[in-house]
């Protein structure tokens, strides 16, 4: 990937909205992607963990990826907003095929999770990612999330992979700061390191990280983009203020159920989608829902959330939606 296209900033791991019957809510999905772009997000990740990819069919995967790219290409913002497709699998051949298909659709890069369930060792992990990079026809972001996969891509393995011309970044969700700091210190020039845990965004930016692939940007895309921009500009007071303001929401998005159960509950309270998930996931239970609503109210996330009528008007005017007044105070 040319240096001018290096991946940097706040990338939203998009949710996939469903209708009451369980089908993809296509109109709502398009609206959510437009809201992201209008709010100033730097990039979009379609078909990650937050998008409930394990329960999507291959045809639905392709629709989500293609539609994300279509909406991002509607206006000149396409020159700014990067589109990433989740193409990982615990089968190397399947990951290669999915990555090739995403390349044909036209995305910028592929997010490839470490193989899950079959628990490959470091030699096998390295072989897997090299094969996808060699044969997938796209720049690759390694997604290291041991809590879901059962395996950790160690720093030494990742740094060897980073020398591959098509392996351009890592989403680091190991929660191991020693490992992350080693990668940031020793990575080759042009290799991007993203936070994979929303709450770790500011600490990783402070260590020289390149941004975040996050869940909370589904709710507050403008704020997450502004936090990254402030850090890149050396305005650490602003970056720290945004982090501290939204830290309770970042934590609440992972309380009471696996991702994306809480974030979908929050977005339903914000009037952005209906709180429907695909089994085996179920909606957030009432005790956690009440606490989440309190956090949304306390942080101000509900104050500026548009009604459905307002959202339609905002889409026509290009006005950013869902972003609170930060400027005033301020599978995957």
Q: What single string gives the DSSP state of each residue in 124-191?
A: HHHHHHHHHHHHSSS-EEEEE-HHHHS----HHHHHHHTTSTTEEEEEE-S--HHHHHHHHHHPPTT-
Cα–Cα separations (whole angstroms), residue 102 to 27, 61, 96, 109, 122: 22, 10, 10, 8, 26
The residue with tokens 């239970």 is: 285
The residue with tokens 């591959």 is: 164
Taking the C-alpha atoms of residue 270 and residue 19, their distance in angstroms, rounded to an integer, is 17
Q: What single string gives the DSSP state of each residue in 184-201?
A: HHHPPTT-EEEESSGGGH
Q: Which residues pair with 171 in a beta bridge?
A: 143, 194
Taking the C-alpha atoms of residue 262 and residue 256, their distance in angstroms, rounded to an integer, is 7
Taking the C-alpha atoms of residue 83 and residue 101, their distance in angstroms, rounded to an integer, is 14
Give percent helix, percent strand, percent coil of the chain, each to the nearest 5: 50, 10, 35
Residue 9 · residue 222 · CB < 8 Å = no
Contacts of 299 (CB under 8 A, 6+ apart): 245, 246, 248, 249, 324
Taking the C-alpha atoms of residue 72 and residue 79, their distance in angstroms, rounded to an integer, is 9
Strands 109-113 and 82-86: parallel
Could you list the active site residues?
A: 143, 171
């Amino acid at each position: 990937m040319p240096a001018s296209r290096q991946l940097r900033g706040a990338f939203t791991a998009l949710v996939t909205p469903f209708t009451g019957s369980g089908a993809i809510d296509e109109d709502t999905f398009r609206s959510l992607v437009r809201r992201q772009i209008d709010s100033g997000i730097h990039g979009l990740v379609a078909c990650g963990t937050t998008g409930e990819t394990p329960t999507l069919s291959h045809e639905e995967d392709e629709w989500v990826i293609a539609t994300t790219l279509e909406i991002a290409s509607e206006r000149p913002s396409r020159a700014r907003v990067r589109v990433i497709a989740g193409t990982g699998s615990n089968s190397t051949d399947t990951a290669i095929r999915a990555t090739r298909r995403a390349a044909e659709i036209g995305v910028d890069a592929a997010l490839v999770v470490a193989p899950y369930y079959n628990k490959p060792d470091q030699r096998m992990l390295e072989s897997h990612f090299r094969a996808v990079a060699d044969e997938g026809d796209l720049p690759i972001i390694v997604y290291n999330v041991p809590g879901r996969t059962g395996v950790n891509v160690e720093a030494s393995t990742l740094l060897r992979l980073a020398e591959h011309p098509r392996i351009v970044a890592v989403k680091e969700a190991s929660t191991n700061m020693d490992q992350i700091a080693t990668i940031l210190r020793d990575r080759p020039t042009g290799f991007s390191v993203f936070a994979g845990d929303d709450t770790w965004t500011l600490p990783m930016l402070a260590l020289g990280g390149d941004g975040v692939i996050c869940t909370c940007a589904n709710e507050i895309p403008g704020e997450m983009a502004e936090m990254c921009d402030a850090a890149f500009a050396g305005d650490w007071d602003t970056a720290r203020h945004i982090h501290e303001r939204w830290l309770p929401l970042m934590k609440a998005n992972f309380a009471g159920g696996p991702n994306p159960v809480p974030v979908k509950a929050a977005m339903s309270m914000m009037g952005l989608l209906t709180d429907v998930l695909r089994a085996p996931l179920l909606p957030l239970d009432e005790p956690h829902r009440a606490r989440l609503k309190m956090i949304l109210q306390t942080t101000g996330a509900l104050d500026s959330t548009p009604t459905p009528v307002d959202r339609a008007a905002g889409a026509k005017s290009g006005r950013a939606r869902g972003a609170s007044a930060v400027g005033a105070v301020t599978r995957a």
